[in-house]
Structure 1
Amino acid sequence: MLDSLSAHIAIVDENGVILDTNQAWRDYAVKNGMPEGYDSIGDNYLAICNAARGEEGAHARVVARGIGEVIGGQVDEFLYDYPCHSDDGPHWYYMRAIRMSGEGPLRVVVSHEEITALKLTEEALKKSEVQLTAQKVELEEANIALKVLLKQREGDKAELEQKVISNVKDMVMPYVEKLKRVSLKPKDKTVVDIIESHLQDIISPMMQKLANASIILTPQEIQVASLVKDGKASKEIAGILNVSETTVHFHRKNLRRKFGLSNSQTNLRSYLISIS
């Protein structure tokens, strides 16, 4: 039954002397330089481990100490994994020492199971985790840079919109107002009205906030808009601004036109609240 197991198994007595080994243990011994038929029986496993030197010596002494603790009853079971590399590549083993149950003299079963595939997978996972962490940091840095660029783009867009609206107000609208005050033929007046309407259509998508809209609103229109937003009635606004109620209605009509609400059922106050 022991010979059918892949683990290298040895049974030792209370002194650490090997009493029996399985086929996997014997094959491993021959593979590592021992003569054919060598079975390790009679060797003191603890002495061999304690005498080991080189890189593997430290691990061997830990194994000897662990087996000694199981023999002495300090622990019920000792577990240890360790490297044991050879010319054909890296190898790792999982070692277990446990007392045999039942009556009779003390016996300890020592097994060594190769876990190289598991260790290689574990190392590959750790390497992947390091790479993923590095990629995460790079993505976070790229995300921050992208946010900065997007913020700059929004700032440039807002600045461009401000310039467009400002230029329309300062360089175009004054001439439109002058044309409207000139005595024009009905046909020409219609053309001027169309020009003004189209200019409003061009800049109205940019007027998403009252702060932008204030650039093309007259000072009194701004006052009226603010009071309307605050819920003041036209009569109250007229009293506050010391103007006639008719003037307030005139400004309200202009506000609706400039905000593109002339042919809409949208409440002026609701609209002003939504963009402020």
Structure 2
Amino acid sequence: MARKAIHGQRSPGVTTGESRLARIILDSLSAHVAILDENGFILETNRAWKAFAEENRIGIRPDTLNVNYLEICDSAGGDSAEASSSVAQGIRDVIAGRMEEFVMDYPCHSPRERRWFYMRVTRAAGPGPVRIVVSHENITALKLAEERLRRSEQALWQEKQKLEESNTALRVLLRQREVDQREMEDDVLDNMRRMVLPVLERMARLPLPARARPLVASLEARLGDLTRPFLRRLSAAQAVLTPQEIEVAALIREGRSSKEIADQLNLSLATINFHRRNLRQKLNLRNTRTNLQSFLMGLSD
């Protein structure tokens, strides 16, 4: 930021008595550091500052000693004019004691690469004349990581939007499927009432063999259940009831004993009792005083 040079005036009384240790420490810093006097003249720079000046061909001596940094900022034009003006004002505020420090980050791209720097301006501690420390730290890696994070967040947001849209479409399809299923069930039940049950009623009036009459009666009762709420109210349990358990439940509801159910389904009595226990458990009939047949009959109300 504002490191393209113009020649400034020399500042009188430039300090040259820095110790060797201070020079070693200053040159070891990765930040580009310059020391200014109270008028904005550059008194000293470190190795990183000089290397940056040489690499970017700023047009004056690489260490930029005795160049007025404020004048460089004030004379900047083009896209960097506004930011350079803010830098100059920030330095003047620190010199005047109106601010303890001034910080900002800024782009400093070259034809070969994109770069960002973090600038910090502070007063040097201790007695003596005012000395201002200006440092520029390369934060390109951080900025590029932030860009990648923003792109990842944007991509994640877009994927989330797509997922929400898909979920919305799926919910619409499921609702329509439920509507279609109810309509189909209603059609089936209506056809059964009009076409199948009358035939069974006529069969029941025929002189059938004694063994066939219970089967016809059971079939009529089962088909009647389809047109009444019994199986619909049992639907919550149907997800866990097996087809044979549903068949046993229907016969229990009709008042058949375990032996009668076993004979009709050609199963052992132990198997029917096993199904009874499973039905009570799956229908959440924990109280043994609750009659299973009464409960199943209640589903038809």
> Same-fold call, TM > 0.5?
yes
After superposition, the Cα gap between the structure-2 partners of 1:37 and 1:150, relative to the gap in structure 1 and judged at 3 Å, is: same
Amino acid in structure 2 at the alignment position of 1:173? L
Alignment partner of 1:117 is 2:110: no
- How far apart, CA to CA, are the structure 1 residues paired with 2:223 and 2:107? 80
Match of 1:51 among 67, 71, 75: 75
CA contact (8 A) 2:36 2:44 kept: yes
**Worse-matched range after superposition: 258-267 or 10-19:** 258-267
- How far apart, CA to CA, are the structure 2 residues paired with 1:200 and 1:259? 15
RMSD: 2.9
What residue in structure 2 maps to residue 20 of structure 1?
44
Alignment partner of 1:61 is 2:54: no
Cα deviation for residue 173 of structure 1 reads 0.9
**Worse-matched range after superposition: 176-185 or 141-150:** 176-185
Counting only pairs closer than 5 Å after superposition, residues 1-276 of structure 1 correspond to structure 2 as 1-34=25-58, 38-190=62-214, 192-193=216-217, 195-196=219-220, 199=223, 207-209=231-233, 260=253, 262-263=255-256, 265-266=291-292, 268=294, 272=298
Residues matched between the structures, number: 230
Cα deviation for residue 163 of structure 1 reads 2.1
SS at match of 2:292: coil
Percent sequence identity is 43
The Cα offsets for residues 184-227 of structure 1, whole Å up to 9 and x where unpaired, read as: 232553553464366468778983149xxxxxxxxxxxxxxxxx
**Worse-matched range after superposition: 180-189 or 196-205:** 196-205
Amino acid in structure 2 at the alignment position of 1:262? G
After superposition, the Cα gap between the structure-2 partners of 1:115 and 1:166, relative to the gap in structure 1 and judged at 3 Å, is: same
Amino acid in structure 2 at the alignment position of 1:10? A
**Worse-matched range after superposition: 135-144 or 85-94:** 135-144
After superposition, the Cα gap between the structure-2 partners of 1:44 and 1:37, relative to the gap in structure 1 and judged at 3 Å, is: closer
Amino acid in structure 1 at the alignment position of 2:292? T
- How far apart, CA to CA, are the structure 2 residues paired with 1:15 and 1:111? 17
- How far apart, CA to CA, are the structure 1 residues paired with 2:230 and 2:189? 8
Amino acid in structure 1 at the alignment position of 2:48? A
Cα deviation for residue 174 of structure 1 reads 0.8
CA contact (8 A) 1:161 1:206 kept: no
- How far apart, CA to CA, are the structure 2 residues paired with 1:161 and 1:7? 78
> What 5-or-longer segments of structure 1 have no aligned partner?
211-255
Scaled by the length of structure 1, the TM-score of the pair is 0.74
- How far apart, CA to CA, are the structure 1 residues paired with 2:104 and 2:37? 20
